[in-house]
A and B are shown apart, each in its own frame.
Chain A
């Protein structure tokens, strides 16, 4: 397995740390003028999502992690597992609900998303940055109110709850940014 030295720790690089696959977020070269050179590295554990800081002696190395992001189509949930498919090859993967985590509230059948594979097994699921979902429940608002202030909660077909402007009605399709959970716009059918 290839390994990378601290000089190669660029943002996004996937490495093994404490037997877990991790992604480098930031790497700072720290060197006292007359002292040992260190690299202070910010790393995300891809299994737990936790971000930690770790210092290495400059020149130390870590093994690379066999982690790849693959664009897939979300198929369905069987209650225990969520199922995904690579559109080009029809290859299917299943991922348990726990690993899907927060992403599950944005996943609609047939939608595309990114599945991160570690040693060819799903590690985490990232929904598309923007999704279009139908509002299944929200209080009736005042028609004609286009002001941005206030707003109201709206439940979406996938289970997510987002704040929407008062004029948006039940049954309408809206566009949401999954990274922030914010309403973007209404979608004209």
Chain B
């Protein structure tokens, strides 16, 4: 008989999760944000070159379709927004292949919400308010901090993240004891930013406080809009507490041409890197053609949030059955 049939997380954590979910629902109910559910199994997938998806076969003889388990509910929620849903939120499972570690489980719980008419600063206010409510009485936090990506990068490393200077980046890597970055990152500016940010900046962000980093370099824009006043940066925000990346938000891209171009770029990049082929979500493109309202959206990994609330060192301790026991 298997001995590890039991859940890993404690009963206290089970209760904490239930309370946090209830608090989130209460928060959005008070603000008249509609709770929705969207499919986890879809015909299209995200094209993000850094995310791997799970596929499965839908067997319905004589047809047999390949469906994708969603890496986030973003596309379906944007279709709802384009159809006139107004502000919406969702708490759902998301799936990312190949991710497992102290902060990763291939299946995890995500909170995602969209605010019609919100700009990025307005969304950031709401993120703070929600997190302060969720931490209240559970763990004391210092006052929230906000830095632009450029400021925090410059302050921590002396480097300008918007301008790629290969010799400066190499010198920095050597001076802080990560010489391997030179061969690992080569001339790939985006990769250098990922390396330096995750190794030398992120760990110190938000010491017992909410820390929001906004204004990411345009090369890291993902699905965010390019900033109106400065085309070198993008209206994207990331939230950290105690060095843990909790979530990611955008002033959403509504331009269908631009969205199609980014999809094609990412699909080409995936082919070049020989990663599993992604299928462009034509439904999303059709919805964007119809018109996505001006909006901002945010997603938060709830398991990591629970890790912080429960002072847990690993994600497994807040899951009942992590992938090794599922």
Contacts and interface: CB of A to CB of B under 8 A. Distances in A.
Given A29-B103, A29-B104, A55-B178, A34 B248 contact: yes
B48 A28 contact: no
Interface stretch (B123-131, B139-147, B194-202): B194-202
A28 B222 CA distance: 25
B220 A29 contact: no
A167 interface: no
Given A32-B198, A37-B99, 6 more contacts: A31-B198, A34-B222, A35-B190, A38-B199, A55-B181, A56-B184
A37 B238 CA distance: 17
B191 interface: yes
A99 interface: no
Interface residues of B, number: 29
B175 interface: no
B50 interface: yes
A55 B194 contact: no
A28 to B, nearest CB: 6
A103 to B, nearest CB: 29
Nearest to B301: A33
A35 B103 contact: no
B102 interface: yes
A31 B238 CA distance: 14
B100 A30 contact: no
Contacts of B103: 29, 31
A35 to B, nearest CB: 4
B263 to A, nearest CB: 15
Contact of A29 (B48, B100, B180, B248): B100
A31 B180 contact: no
Q: Which 7 A-B pairs have the closest CB atoms?
A: A29-B101, A35-B194, A36-B194, A34-B222, A33-B248, A30-B198, A32-B198
Given A54-B180, A55-B178, A55-B180, A33 B245 contact: yes
Given A34-B50, A36-B191, A55 B184 contact: yes
A40 interface: yes
Contacts of B197: 32, 35
Interface of A: 7, 28-38, 40, 53-58
Interface in B41-60: 48, 50
A35 B248 contact: no
A32 B245 contact: yes
Nearest to B236: A34
Interface in B171-217: 177-178, 180-181, 184, 190-191, 193-195, 197-199, 202
Contacts of A55: 178, 180-181, 184, 195, 199
Interface in B69-113: 98-104
Nearest to A34: B222
B195 A34 contact: no
B39 to A, nearest CB: 22
Contacts of B202: 32
10 contacts: A29-B99, A29-B104, A30-B199, A31-B50, A33-B247, A34-B220, A40-B199, A53-B177, A54-B180, A56-B184
Interface string B248-289: 100000000000000000000000000000000000000000
A48 to B, nearest CB: 16
Contacts of A7: 100
A54 to B, nearest CB: 6
Contacts of B48: 34
A36 B50 contact: yes
A56 B181 CA distance: 9
Contacts of B50: 31, 34-37
A33 B101 CA distance: 13
Contact of A38 (B99, B195, B248): B195
A20 to B, nearest CB: 15
B218 to A, nearest CB: 13
A36 B220 contact: no
Name which of A28, A32, A54 has the most chain B CB atoms within 10 A of its CB: A32
Interface string B148-173: 00000000000000000000000000
